[in-house]
Structure 1
Amino acid sequence: MVDLNALSAANAKRWANAKLSRKAEAASVAVRLYRAKQRYQAVERHTGVPWPAIAVIHERESSQQWNASLAQGDPWNAVSVHVPAGRGPFDSWEAAAVDALVKCPPFLARHKDWTIAGALTALETYNGIGYAVRGVPSPYLWSGTNQYRAGKYVRDGVYDPSKVDPQLGCAALLMALMELDPDICFAGTKIAKGSASSDPARPSLTNPSKGSIGAFVVSLIKAIFGRK
């Protein structure tokens, strides 16, 4: 049995010490997720799950494919065969996403603690608590940060300590999204470590700090359009 309070405390500590190790990749994915903000917000309105959490789950489960269910990446216009199996078909990606969050374990729509520690723990339980049982950082959260080196379940019940998860984790994606959107918050607390909403120095696309995701994206846009 995993103590979820202890897991939340561990995730809060990891978040406080986390740094992106794949910044350019995280920036690219974050921009793609951010462009779909309105679609994620539509699901948020029906479930109460913050849109950034929905976005990073979508990326982890199906690389943001819109023909794949948020629940497990199966096509939403057919009955799902992977866990949770037997869901669908649905009329839209949004309908399938609401079903995944409201009617499928771990029932994130019932989750009440949307502080950053609570959000990270909710995201980890969405994938499963196998890593927490082993006392190791979950790549579902921490891949792409300095909090993760290796270790992955390659199939149900089979853990390979040397396998490296190639996908970016939810925490890495949240960090990158935070630098693009200064309004992202969980239960009134900014995702940015130690930042406040009134902080004029907070990195963003309109006010990027040197070396930040925002600065990377701005430089990329300038390079594409030849702006100086």
Structure 2
Amino acid sequence: MTDLVALKAANADRWARAKLTRSFSSGAKRLVAPGAKARYQAVTARTGVPWFFVAVAHEREASQNWNTQLGQGDPLGSVSVHVPKGRGPFKTWEDGAYDALVNCAPFAARNHDWSIGGTLTMLERYNGLGYAARGKPSPYIWSGTDQYVSGKYVRDGVYDARVVDQQPGCAGLLLSMMEFDPTITFVGTTIPARKPSLTPKPPPPVPSIAAPAQGSIGAFFVALFKSLFGRK
């Protein structure tokens, strides 16, 4: 089983070091265009999933074709035959996107970690964790950056180390989108640090005749009395 915490850390580290090896500008401009962004934001309003996550998934799955299902790129008006299978048909692209994010694994609408590591890992989970299981960077995420060289699942369960993925990777798309839309930010979940639970010290005893305050005249006479009469 893939360690998702480790994968998030690995993806965040790759992001910090990544450099583009080809241009993503054309696709990035389309994804952040006002009309497209408005449609992605409408899905965000229904699901809570950041609009830019929806945008890059749409590009990767269907080259931003609005007549397809977000989940796998199958035709919007037909029942899907690729994973996730059996979805649809849908009347609108937004309805298909809602279904993919809310009702289909890995259920992005339930995610609360939208840090860069969390975002990229959620995108990778939609494509599958076969690359992570091999210790390889996923081309779904890193194609078109210096974090990826070669290797691709050419069909279900068949990995070819020689094949180079030619599609734009999600990380490269995001890097380019941020150049045109600086409102894109990544916010992770943080758990407030718990303050240490301190056991309160018991209050000092109240001075009395039998137990006067230390250093007081009463304490002097008690000590004198004990020394004269041998009381301890």
CA contact (8 A) 1:50 1:186 kept: no
| Structure 2 residue 39 is matched with structure 1 residue 32 | no
For residue 185 of structure 1, report the CA deviation from its aligned partner.
1.1
How many aligned residue pairs are there?
187
What is the deviation of 1:77? 1.1
TM-score normalised to structure 2 length? 0.79
Q: What is residue 93 of structure 2 aligned with on the other side? A: 93
Give 3-state SS (helix, strand or coil) of 1:153's partner. Answer: strand
Residue 134 (structure 1) shift: 0.2
> What do the CA deviations read for 1:16-43 (whole angstroms, capped 9, x no partner)?
10011112xx001100111111110000
Q: Measure, in 2, the Cα distance between the counterparts of 1:34 and 1:82.
A: 28
**How do 1:118-129 and structure 2 match up within 5 A?**
118-129=118-129
Structure 1-normalised TM-score?
0.80
Which ranges of 4 or more aligned residues in structure 1 deviate by more than 3 Å? none
| Distance in 1 separating the partners of 2:127 and 2:49 | 16
SS at 1:66 equivalent? coil
Counterpart amino acid of residue 26 in structure 2: S
Q: Secondary structure of 1:165's match? A: coil
Tell me by how many angstroms 1:186 deviates: 1.9
Larger radius of gyration: 2
Q: Does 1:110 align with 2:110?
A: yes
Task: Give the whole-Å Cα distance in 2 for the aligned partners of 1:151 and 1:119.
Answer: 22
Following superposition of structure 1 onto structure 2, how do residues 107-186 of structure 1 map, counting pairs within 5 Å?
A: 107-186=107-186
Q: How far off its partner does 1:188 sit?
A: 7.5
Consecutive unaligned residues in structure 2, runs of 5 or more: 190-232
- 2:112–2:188: 8 Å Cα contact kept in structure 1? no
Q: CA deviation at 1:81?
A: 1.0
Counterpart amino acid of residue 75 in structure 2: P
Shift, 1:128, TM fit? 0.4
1:86-119 CA-to-partner distances (Å, cap 9, x unmatched) read 1111110000000000000110000110011100
Aligned Cα root-mean-square deviation (Å): 1.1
Structure 1 alignment gaps of length 5 or more = 190-228
Deviations 1:155-198 (A, max 9, x none): 00000001000101000000000111111112279xxxxxxxxx
CA distance in 2 between counterparts of 1:76 and 1:187 reads 31
Q: Which amino acid aligns with 1:95?
A: D
The answer (yes or no) to whether the contact 1:139–1:165 under 8 Å persists in 2 is: yes
Is the Cα contact below 8 Å between 1:8 and 1:118 reproduced in 2? yes
Matched, 1:8 2:16: no
